[in-house]
Homo-oligomer: A and B are copies of this chain.
Amino acid sequence: MSHSRFTFTLSLVSGLLISVALPTQANTDNSGAPIIIQGAMPVEAEHFAAKLDNVKEEHIGGWRFWKGTVDGYPVVVSETLKGMSNVAAATSIAALEFKPKAIINQGTAGGHDPALNVYDIVVGKYSVNLGAFKTPHKQPGEGSNSVEWKPMDLLASKGSAGEDKNAHSIRQFAADPQLLKAADQAVAGYQKGKVVSGVIGSADVWNSELDRIRFFHQQFNTSVEEMETASAAQIAAQFAIPFVGIRVLSNNITNNGKYDAQTGIACQDYVYDVLKAYIKDIKTAQK
């Protein structure tokens, strides 16, 4: 990110020509770099955007961003749209356009852990991609059994994923310690359920096969599933941007927890407190 990108030539009135190489990193003083709050759906983003001061809406490609401040610090709320591809794009756009200090991906999720209830919140100590697998070989008539599939780590090498014998463990995208600390500081203010440290599993799949969900919970320790966090975490890591995923259970079919769309609002309220704790820590460190 610190390389030169544009080289261009200025022609001055005097006729003097100057060639200038511009760095991509407009914010070399990281203290003013914004914090990005991601939500996939309007119900996961608009409530947060309404909390910003001095807010301006901006569209880039098909994505909406709301630029504003919280406690005087720059914050951008990003509506990522749904799924692994859209959130990877939104994360890249944020990385290039806003040079963020940190990214918090938040929203709703389905429970994998029977000990968690609707309105409980999972702070992701790490996330995993539940959509990247290599199946065993099966002949015609032998069917398909997804709980036999091996995880496939597409970042393990630059060679063929199918041929790579070292790519069969699941990659864990770890959260940033300072963001985890801020999440911890905000726990006391959340009254609608528990806040726990856990594992977020992401894929473009809405799973309702209870054997598959148990397989994920047992093999990969997933607390919840949704469709964005691991993808955003992967791209944030590629840009070396501190990241955490925070997800509220909107339903949990492992214990008959019924879907409640209002959980998305509760999550944004909690994440707003996380954000304020994080900004306070930044300001304290700057003193």
Residues of chain A from 203 to 217 with CB closer than 8 A to chain B in the complex: 203-212, 214-215
Instruction: Give the size of the chain A interface in residues (CB under 8 angstroms).
Output: 88
Q: How far is the CB of A86 from chain B (nearest CB, A)?
A: 7
Give the residues from 223 to 279 in chain A that come closer than 8 angstroms, CB to CB, to chain B.
Answer: 227, 230-231, 234-235, 238-239, 250, 253, 259, 261
A264 and B136 CA atoms in complex are apart in Å by 24
Contacts of A22 in B (CB 8 A): 6, 8, 22
A196 within 8 A of B: no
Q: Is the beta-carbon distance between A135 and B212 smaller than 8 angstroms?
A: yes
Q: Are A161 and B206 in contact (CB under 8 A)?
A: yes
Say whether, besides A227-B161, A231-B85, A235-B85, A208 and B137 are in contact (CB < 8 Å).
yes
Tell me if A177 counts as interface (CB < 8 A to partner B).
no
A50 within 8 A of B: no
Whether B86 and A89, one on each chain, are in contact in the complex, defined by CB atoms closer than 8 angstroms, is no
Q: Which residues of A contact B (CB under 8 A)?
A: 1, 3, 5-6, 8, 10, 12, 18, 20, 22, 24, 26, 41-43, 58-63, 81-86, 88-89, 91-93, 95-97, 108, 110, 129, 131-147, 149, 152, 154-155, 158-163, 203-212, 214-215, 227, 230-231, 234-235, 238-239, 250, 253, 259, 261
